[in-house]
Chains A and B, each alone.
Chain A
Amino acid sequence: MDEPISPGDRPALDRSPGFSESAPPAALPRPPAERSLRRWLGSPLALAPLILLGIVVAVLAIASEGQNFGLSFWGPVWEFIPTDPAGSTYGIALFALGTAITAGVALLLASGLSLAIAITLTTYLPPRTSRILTTLTDLLAGIPSVVYGIWGFVVLAPYFASSLEPNLRNALGWLPGFGGPESAIGGGTGLLLGIFILTLMVIPLTTAVMRESLRSVPREVVEAGLALGATPWEVVRRVRLRVARRGLWGAVFLGFGRAIGESVALAMVLGNTIQYPPSIYGGSYTIASFIFTQLDSAFFYPELLRALVEFALVILLITIAFNLLGQRAVSGVRTRTVPGAGGRA
C-alpha cells in the first residue's frame, strides 16, 4: 500500500500506526474532563469581541429608551423645532437618500476601478512593481478620514467650484442632475465632491480584498488555462474572475459597509445642508455625517438625542448585514490582515 508523501516527512522512527500524517493543528490534547472544563471556562475571554459588540448594541438600545417614532420616522420630512422638540418631525428619508446616493455611486465607481487595479496587480505586473504598488495602496488605506476631509475641503473644493463643475455643467448639463444650480453654500462642496472623496476612501479596501481573492485562485487552474492556449486576458476573464467571483462580491459588500459608515470626511466636504439636493453639485447630509455634526447640540434636546440614536441603530444594522454578507462571501479567501477593513470614519 502506497502512503502519500506528506510535506513534513520525517524519518521512519516517528511513523507509528495510528498517527495521521496530515493532522491539522488540533487543540492541545488533554484528559477529557479537564479539557471541557478549562476550554469552556475560558470562553468568555475568547468571546470578548462578541461581548463588546453586545455591550455596544445594548447601550444603543437603552439610549433609545424604547421610543418608537412611528411611521413619520421613515418619512421624508425632517423638521426640528428647538422650541418644540416633542412636536418636531424626525424623518430619516432625506439622510437615507444621501447615504444611498453617495455610498451607492462611490461603490459603483470604486468596484470598477478596484477590479481593474487588482487584475493589473495580480496578472500584468512583475512581482516587485506589484509589491510596491500594493504597499502604496495600503498606505492610502491608512490615511485618516480627517486628512481626506481637509484635503477635499481646502484643495479640491475650490478647484471643483472654479473649473470642474462649470465644465461639467457645460458638457453634461442636459443630463438630469448635472445642470442644476451650485450648492447652497457654494465653494465646490456637495454631492460630487463627496462621492469623489468617498470613492477614494473605499478603493484601497476593495482593491486589497479583490487582490487577495484573485491571488487565491489555485495555480493549477490558472496554469491549466494557459496550457490550453489562453492569453493572459482570457485567463483572467474566463478563469480567475469566475473562480474568484465570491471573493470579489465580498469586496463590494465590505466596501459598501465602509462607505455607509463614513462620517467625518463627508461632514467636511458634503456641504452640510438639510435638503434634497437639487443637483449633483448641491449639498446634503448622510445619516452618518448628520449624527456626527448634530450630536453636540443634541445634548440640550433629549428627543433629538433619541432620534439620533435611532439613526445610529439604522446604520449599525445595515453595516452588520453587509458585513455578514461580505464575511460569508470572502470566507474562502486566505487574506492577510486587510488594512482598513472596517467602518472607519
Chain B
Amino acid sequence: MRWGLPLALLVVLFPLFDMIYWIAVRALPTFTWATLTTDQVGLGGGLYAMIVGSFTLLGLATGFAAAVGIAAGMYTAEYAPPSIARWARVAGNLLAGIPAIVLGYFGYYALVLYTHWGYTTLAGGLTLGVFMVPFVYRTADLAFANVPSEQREAALAMGARPGQYLVRVALPIALPAILSGVFLAMAIGLGETAPLIYTAGWSSTPVAGLFQPTSFLTGAIWNFYDYPSTEGSFQALAFQAAFLLLILVIGLNVVVQVVAERYRRRTRGMMA
C-alpha cells in the first residue's frame, strides 16, 4: 500500500488547499478594513451586517446549546439510571444526525409560520441552538464520565454532598473537555446555512433587533454566489464572507486542539 500516502495526500490535502487558495485569491484583492466595517450598500459594500448577524445568532445558539447540553450531559453521566442514560445517548446521536434542512423546516414551521413572527433572529438562534445541542451534549457526557473515580471517592470520603462534588470537583476537572465541545459546536454552528435561511431570513440592516430578520455570513454566500463576477460585485462579497468563515472555523478548530491537548496533559497526572 505504498500508494496509500500519495492517495491520502491527493484526496484530502488537494481539495483543502485548492479551496483555501481560490477563496483567498478571489476574496483578498478587494478585502479592506472597510469590508469588515461597512454595511452592504447597493452593489458590493461590506460584511459588517453579516458579521454582527452571524455572531448574534451564534451567541443565542451557543447559550441555548451550552445550557441544555451541559446540564443534560452532567445528568446522563452522573445521575441517570442506566436505562435512561442509554436512551438519552441514542437520542443524542439521532439528534446529531438530523439533516440541517429538516431542522430548518422545523424552525420555519414552528417559529416563523405558526407563531406568525415571520423571519426573526430569535427563531434563527433557537433553531441553530437545537442543532448544536447534541455536539455539546456528547462532549459533556464524556467529560463527566471521564472524571477519575478517585476524585469522587476522595470527595465523598471527605464528607461532600453529591451536589458539592459535582460543582466543586467534577465540573472543574471536566471543564476543558466541555469547553472544547462548546467550541467545536460553535465552529459547526458558524458554518451552517440551512437551519438559518428560513428562520432568520435576510436583511441589510445590522442589529435590527431580536424579532427582526438578520443577515449572516453563510447566507451571504448562499445569496451572492451566482452573481456575475465583475469588480466590486456581490460575488466578491460572497468570497470575502467565505474567507472570513474559513479563518473563523479553522481558528476555532485550532483552539479546540489546544484545549484538548492541555486537558490531556492535565489528566495524565491524575490517572493512577
Is B142 in contact with A337, judged by CB distance below 8 angstroms?
A: yes
Give chain A residues whose Cβ lies under 8 Å from the Cβ of B250: 139, 142
With known contacts A47-B84, A140-B12, A292–B194 Cβ distance under 8 A: yes
Minimum CB distance partner of A299 in chain B: B113
With known contacts A154-B235, A309-B109, A323-B94, A260–B99 Cβ distance under 8 A: yes
With known contacts A46-B79, A343-B99, A203–B5 Cβ distance under 8 A: no
Docked CA distance A40–B96 (Å): 25
Number of A-B contacts (CB under 8 A): 290
Give chain B residues whose Cβ lies under 8 Å from the Cβ of A144: 190-193, 218, 245, 249
Is B105 in contact with A60, judged by CB distance below 8 angstroms?
A: yes
Minimum CB distance partner of A322 in chain B: B97
For window 84-119 of B, CB contacts with A under 8 Å fall at: 84-85, 87-88, 90-106, 108-110, 113
Is A343 in contact with B133, judged by CB distance below 8 angstroms?
A: no
Is A200 in contact with B15, judged by CB distance below 8 angstroms?
A: yes
Interface size counted on chain A using CB atoms at 8 A: 95
Minimum CB distance partner of A200 in chain B: B15
B158 within 8 A of A: no
Give chain A residues whose Cβ lies under 8 Å from the Cβ of B130: 52, 56
Encode contact with B along A196-233: 1 for CB under 8 Å, 0 otherwise.
00001001100100000000000000000000000001
Is B102 in contact with A261, judged by CB distance below 8 angstroms?
A: yes
Is A146 in contact with B106, judged by CB distance below 8 angstroms?
A: no
A interface: dominant SS: helix
A209 to chain B minimum Cβ distance, whole angstroms, is: 12
Docked CA distance A7–B138 (Å): 28
Question: Chain B: interface residue count, which band?
Answer: 35 or more
B188 within 8 A of A: yes
A239 to chain B minimum Cβ distance, whole angstroms, is: 15
Minimum CB distance partner of B248 in chain A: A144
Give chain B residues whose Cβ lies under 8 Å from the Cβ of A135: 257
Docked CA distance A229–B19 (Å): 44
Is A28 in contact with B226, judged by CB distance below 8 angstroms?
A: no
Docked CA distance A123–B198 (Å): 46
Docked CA distance A136–B254 (Å): 11
With known contacts A312-B101, A344-B100, A49–B75 Cβ distance under 8 A: no
Give chain B residues whose Cβ lies under 8 Å from the Cβ of A274: none
A145 within 8 A of B: yes
For window 140-177 of A, CB contacts with B under 8 Å fall at: 140, 142-151, 153-155
Which of A48, A264, A295, A340 counts the most B-chain CB atoms under 10 A from its CB? A48
B43 within 8 A of A: no
B165 to chain A minimum Cβ distance, whole angstroms, is: 7
Docked CA distance A56–B13 (Å): 37
With known contacts A46-B80, A145-B193, A147-B19, A138–B222 Cβ distance under 8 A: no
B8 within 8 A of A: yes
Is B134 in contact with A49, judged by CB distance below 8 angstroms?
A: yes
Docked CA distance A1–B183 (Å): 51
Is B1 in contact with A45, judged by CB distance below 8 angstroms?
A: no
Docked CA distance A328–B249 (Å): 31
B152 to chain A minimum Cβ distance, whole angstroms, is: 7
Is B242 in contact with A124, judged by CB distance below 8 angstroms?
A: no
A63 within 8 A of B: yes
Is A27 in contact with B249, judged by CB distance below 8 angstroms?
A: no
Minimum CB distance partner of B143 in chain A: A337
- Residue B12 contacts which of A42, A43, A46, A133 (CB distance < 8 angstroms)? A133
Listed A/B pairs (19) with beta-carbon separation below 8 Å: A29-B156, A38-B79, A48-B69, A50-B91, A56-B102, A113-B11, A117-B7, A145-B191, A146-B218, A147-B191, A149-B222, A149-B225, A154-B26, A292-B101, A292-B194, A295-B104, A342-B135, A343-B100, A345-B194
Interface residues of A (CB under 8 A from B): 7-8, 23, 25, 27-30, 38-40, 42-43, 45-50, 52-53, 56, 59-60, 62-63, 113, 116-117, 119-121, 123-125, 133, 135-140, 142-151, 153-155, 200, 203-204, 207, 233, 236, 254, 257-258, 260-264, 268, 288, 291-292, 295-296, 299, 308-309, 312, 315-316, 319-320, 322-324, 327, 337, 339-345
User: Which 8 A-B pairs give the minimum distances between C-beta atoms?
Assistant: A261-B99, A144-B191, A120-B4, A50-B91, A342-B96, A323-B97, A343-B99, A46-B75
With A46-B79, A140-B16, A150-B238 already in contact, 4 other A-B pairs whose C-beta atoms are closer than 8 Å: A46-B85, A150-B221, A263-B100, A323-B94
Interface residues of B (CB under 8 A from A): 1, 4-5, 7-8, 11-13, 15-16, 18-19, 22-23, 26, 68-69, 71-72, 75-76, 78-81, 84-85, 87-88, 90-106, 108-110, 113, 130, 133-135, 137-139, 142, 145, 149-150, 152, 156, 162, 165, 181, 184, 187-188, 190-194, 197-198, 218, 221-222, 225-226, 229, 235, 238-239, 242, 245-246, 249-250, 252-253, 257, 272
